[in-house]
Amino acid sequence: MTTPVLEARDVTMRFGGLTAVRSVDFTVNAGEIVGLIGPNGAGKTTFFNCLTGLYVPTEGTVSYKGTVLPPKPHLVTQAGIARTFQNIRLFANMTVLENVLVGRHTRTKEGLWSALLRGPGFKKAERDSEERAMELLEFIGLAHKRDHLARNLPYGEQRKLEIARAMASEPGLLLLDEPTAGMNPQETRATEELVFAIRDKGIAVLLIEHDMRFVFNLSDRVAVLVQGEKLVEGTPDVVQADERVVAAYLGEPFEGDPGEAEAAEVEAAEAAADATSTTSSTKGEAQ
């Protein structure tokens, strides 16, 4: 039987007049690698931000292992979801090891006083954290660079380090936002191996990616977002063969275009605003 790790129910996110994510139901099960794809501006990152508490969804809920998550990033991380970002967000002037140690703070129980007084409890916790951080660096192949400054690492290694930092919070689900962006083919290949290895450690993985080969090679399931709505979901074979997906990527209209309803809504709202407007007040662009 499949056990859901993540369950998003009816998640909608609006920014003023723009609905970036609309009524999305989405599940990641234990042991799965799931890909989330879609053309530029489809709402993928917005959806990720809803899952990780960075945004409070306008509607809907996000649950982790059966418990609804409060939309607060640190509580989401504490619950067991970690993420990386589209743009690298390392502490550039900290060492490789320090960057991973920062990622562990949600799992260390030593309080402020213990840390300030640097008592025996704190020292032991510090040793344990360092040991765990080194295990992670070994896992991603950066143990030999533990004392290098993050900013001096080549790009591909910086991306790996971000993943190690996210793993330091001991997540049950790891969200990767475009993990291969800017990578050369060798680095992409290595990342593919790394994602499989993460899954083999019992961590479910959800990834946003533009590199289709990478997504279809890795994922057990793929969901396609188009204009904020989930258009198709299934195995890589099913998704690749779906002509609506091809059409969405080529920018061609297709039947049941998920943008139609929204376009009509925006047009109606604009027409109503025009009709009631007696001054030349500004009107926001919908797209």
Ligand X SMILES: Nc1ncnc2c1ncn2[C@@H]1O[C@H](COP(=O)(O)OP(=O)(O)OP(=O)(O)O)[C@@H](O)[C@H]1O
Q: How far apart are the C-alpha atoms of 169 and 164, rounded to whole Å?
A: 9
The torsion region of residue 152 among left (phi > 0), alpha (psi -120 to 50) and beta comes to: alpha
Sequence-distant (6+) residues with CB within 8 A of 102 are 91, 94, 165, 168
- Contact call for residue 22 and ligand X (CB under 6 A): no
**Selected range binding ligand X among 34-42, 114-122, 143-151, 152-160, rule: CB under 6 A:** 34-42
Least distance in angstroms from the C-beta of 43 to ligand X: 4
Least distance in angstroms from the C-beta of 223 to ligand X: 12
Q: How far apart are the C-alpha atoms of 132 and 29, rounded to whole Å?
A: 26
Member of 5, 6, 11, 20 binding ligand X (CB under 6 A): 20
Q: How far apart are the C-alpha atoms of 270 and 249, rounded to whole Å?
A: 28
Instruction: Tell the burial category of 4 from Cβ atoms under 10 Å away from its Cβ (0-12, 13-18, 19+).
Output: middle
Name the residue nearer to ligand X (CB basis): 22 or 165: 22
Binding to ligand X in span 228-287, by CB under 6 A: none
Name the residue nearer to ligand X (CB basis): 54 or 102: 54
Query: How many other C-beta atoms can be found within 10 angstroms of the C-beta atom of residue 1?
Result: 3
Least distance in angstroms from the C-beta of 201 to ligand X: 27
Sign for the pseudo-dihedral over CA of 217, 219, 220, 226: negative
**Selected range binding ligand X among 12-20, 69-77, 101-109, 133-141, rule: CB under 6 A:** 12-20
Least distance in angstroms from the C-beta of 36 to ligand X: 9
From residue 79 to residue 118, the character string flagging contacts with ligand X as x (rule: CB under 6 A) and all else as - is ----------------------------------------
Query: How many other C-beta atoms can be found within 10 angstroms of the C-beta atom of residue 286?
Result: 15
Least distance in angstroms from the C-beta of 41 to ligand X: 4
Binding to ligand X in span 38-77, by CB under 6 A: 38, 40-46
Of 226, 212, 235, nearest to 255 by C-alpha is 226
User: Residues interacting with ligand X, by CB under 6 A?
Assistant: 15, 18, 20, 38, 40-46
